[in-house]
């Protein structure tokens, strides 16, 4: 399979070649106007231009801005057998509507797949929303004609924004997308784009489509596993995608404003590359997340930490039995101490709700006897104390557990400290009453 990094590098080379060819053409046209130069002299100047080194810089900088294309559209196709990191692009077509429904918490996805979805990511003049923030690059990804395309509308002149908005609207209508996939798009990309459409009295039909903002799914799936859920970070951790040539997002607005001043498209090339990488990363991360729910063990590369995240997803959409199954699979594997406690807590509450005491009690006992003492364990002491007090009527056993819980909660959790204190007072009264009752018997 072709590596997608080679494809991206080839596209960059082609753009650089087009830029150089354009400079040569413009130089020849200028020399044609000079009647005092012979054809030989003109050709020699062209040869010198083509031989100039990339690292060579002009001795005197030109302050005359270069001409800018007001609006450009790029559309780059990728073969479906290409890999982006560990993910084959074609695997996105195998994701079921049921899985997308769980990830999005929107039943409208039940009859949909990614084959008709629009992946969208904006590059803007500011990193926060607002009326003054303009999306100068609209990056889009979609499946079409047995390929995956990354398309970009690049605004080279802010005065042409209305034209871009009009063309975008026509593009969305012609492509007839059935859903939208973003990363933080519900909070940023779509509201910002809608604001710009409203400004020019145009409807944004994307607002009417089912929307999978994968940031929320990613936090549930991997927030407990990785230090952060930034798309760049997940692409590296999950996909093993090499984004070493990428630029920081914070640098993008500055580069764009410098481009507006100078017309130097070299400032923009890294932004377009960054945007393409974000679209491909989003596709890859969505596929990776969806494959955790796959019944195909060869396709699913998930580990115990991933199964815990899948359990949370299923719990959030009310698929309790499936969530229990994922939590149990998680406990069969290797979890951090903190995540292990969380999984046991969620499972134990499910069993408790269904009177499955024979399954809940061992989980509470495991958590209570864990070597790594923390406030996360206090729930298990409370649950055990409640069970022995109310179900077994073994007040002495309940008292011992409550006392241990109280000691662990001191200075750590005011809530549990208060709970265990009240519980102990009540248990002491019950023990005393029980003792008096026994003594009164003949």
Q: Phi/psi at 138 (nearest 5 deg)?
A: -110, 105
Please answer whether residues 273 and 245 qualify as being in contact, where contact means their C-beta atoms are separated by less than 8 angstroms.
yes
Strands (DSSP E) found in 311-378: none
Question: What pLDDT, on the 0 to 100 scale, is given for residue 128?
Answer: 73
Half-sphere exposure of 90 (CA within 13 A, CB side): 8
Q: C-alpha distances in angstroms, 435 versus 24, 388, 392, 425, 428?
A: 103, 17, 17, 15, 10
- Identify the three-state secondary structure at position 406: helix
Domains of the chain: 68-291 (3.30.420.10), 304-440 (1.25.40.10)
**CA-CA-CA-CA dihedral for 342, 365, 357, 323, to nearest 10:** 20
Worst-scoring range by mean pLDDT, 132-146, 234-248, 347-361?
A: 234-248
pLDDT digits (tens, 9 = 90+) for 215-263: 999 999 999 999 999 999 999 999 999 888 789 999 999 999 999 999 9
Backbone φ and ψ for 410, nearest 5 degrees, come out as -60, 125
Alpha-carbon radius of gyration of the chain? 31
Q: Scan for tokens 């549990």, then name that residue.
A: 416
Q: What is d(CA 380, CA 401) in angstroms, rounded to the nearest whole number?
A: 10
Q: pLDDT digits over 15-55, tens only?
A: 555 555 555 556 656 655 666 655 556 555 655 655 544 44
pLDDT of residue 222: 98
* CB burial of residue 256 (10 Å; 0-12, 13-18, 19+): buried
Q: C-alpha angle 83/139/214, rounded to 5°?
A: 70
pLDDT at 45: 62
Q: Could you tell me the pLDDT band of residue 281, with boundaries at 50, 70 and 90?
A: very high
pLDDT for position 19: 55
In whole angstroms, give the CA distance from residue 253 to residue 271.
9
pLDDT at 15: 59
Q: Which residues contact 118 (CB under 8 A, 6 or more apart)?
A: 140, 141, 142, 172, 175, 177, 179, 180, 181, 206, 209
With beta carbons less than 8 A apart as the criterion, state whether 254 and 127 touch. no
What confidence score (pLDDT) does residue 62 get?
47
Reported as a pLDDT band with limits 50, 70 and 90, residue 395 is: very high
> How high does pLDDT run on average in the chain?
89
Q: Are 121 and 139 in contact (CB under 8 A)?
A: yes
Q: Is residue 377 a contact partner of residue 408, using CB atoms and an 8 Å limit?
A: yes
Residues in contact with 360: Cβ distance below 8 Å, sequence separation at least 6, in sequence order: 347, 348, 349, 351, 352, 383
User: What angle, rounded to 10 degrees, do the helices at 378-386 and 395-409 form?
Assistant: 160
Q: Is the pLDDT of residue 61 over 50?
A: no
- Helix 269-291 × helix 214-222 angle, to 10°: 60
Neighbours of 247 (CB within 10 A): 14
Mean pLDDT, rounded, for 63-91: 92
Helix (H/G/I), strand (E/B), else coil: 303: coil
pLDDT at residue 55, as a whole number: 41
Judge whether 153 and 138 are in contact, CB under 8 Å: yes
Name 155's bridge partners.
71
Tokens of 291: 């494959």
């Amino acid at each position: 399979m072709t590596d997608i990094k080679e494809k991206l590098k080839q596209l960059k080379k082609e753009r650089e070649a087009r830029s150089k060819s354009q400079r040569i053409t413009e130089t020849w046209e200028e020399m044609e106007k000079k009647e005092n130069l012979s054809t030989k002299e003109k050709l020699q100047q062209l040869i010198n231009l083509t031989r100039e080194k990339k690292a060579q810089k002009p001795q005197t900088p030109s302050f005359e801005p270069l001409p800018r294309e007001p609006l450009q559209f790029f559309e780059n196709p990728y073969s479906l057998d290409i890999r982006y990191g560990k993910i084959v692009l074609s695997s996105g077509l195998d994701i079921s509507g049921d899985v997308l429904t769980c990830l999005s918490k929107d039943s409208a996805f039940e009859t949909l797949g990614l084959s008709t979805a629009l992946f969208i990511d904006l590059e803007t003049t500011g990193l926060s929303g607002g009326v003054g923030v303009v999306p100068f690059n609209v990056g889009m990804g979609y499946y079409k004609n047995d390929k995956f395309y990354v398309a970009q509308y690049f605004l080279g002149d802010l005065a042409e924004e209305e034209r871009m908005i009009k063309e975008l609207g026509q593009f969305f209508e012609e492509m007839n997308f059935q859903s939208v996939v973003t990363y933080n798009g519900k909070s940023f990309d779509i509201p910002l784009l809608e604001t710009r459409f409203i400004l020019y009295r145009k409807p944004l039909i994307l607002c009417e489509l089912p929307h999978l903002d994968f940031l929320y799914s990613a936090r549930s799936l991997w927030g407990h596993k990785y230090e952060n859920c930034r798309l760049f970070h997940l692409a590296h951790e999950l996909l093993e995608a090499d984004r070493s040539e990428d630029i920081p997002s914070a640098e993008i607005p500055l580069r764009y404003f410098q481009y507006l001043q100078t017309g130097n498209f070299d400032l923009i090339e890294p932004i377009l590359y960054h945007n393409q990488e974000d679209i491909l990363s989003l596709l890859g991360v969505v596929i990776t997340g969806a494959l955790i729910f796959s019944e195909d063990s060869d396709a699913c590369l998930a580990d115990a930490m991933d199964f815990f995240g899948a359990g949370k997803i299923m719990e959030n959409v009310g698929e309790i039995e499936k969530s229990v199954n994922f939590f149990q699979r998680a406990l069969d594997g290797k979890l951090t101490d903190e995540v292990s406690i969380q999984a046991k807590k969620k499972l134990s509450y499910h069993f408790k709700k269904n009177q499955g005491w024979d399954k809940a009690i061992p989980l509470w006992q495991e958590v209570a006897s864990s070597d790594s003492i923390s406030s996360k364990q206090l729930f298990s002491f409370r649950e055990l104390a409640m069970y022995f007090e109310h179900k077994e009527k073994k007040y002495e056993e309940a008292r011992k557990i409550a006392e241990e819980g109280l000691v662990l909660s001191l200075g750590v959790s005011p809530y549990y400290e208060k709970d265990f204190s009240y519980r102990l007072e009540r248990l002491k009264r019950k023990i005393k009453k029980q003792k008096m009752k026994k003594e009164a018997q003949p």
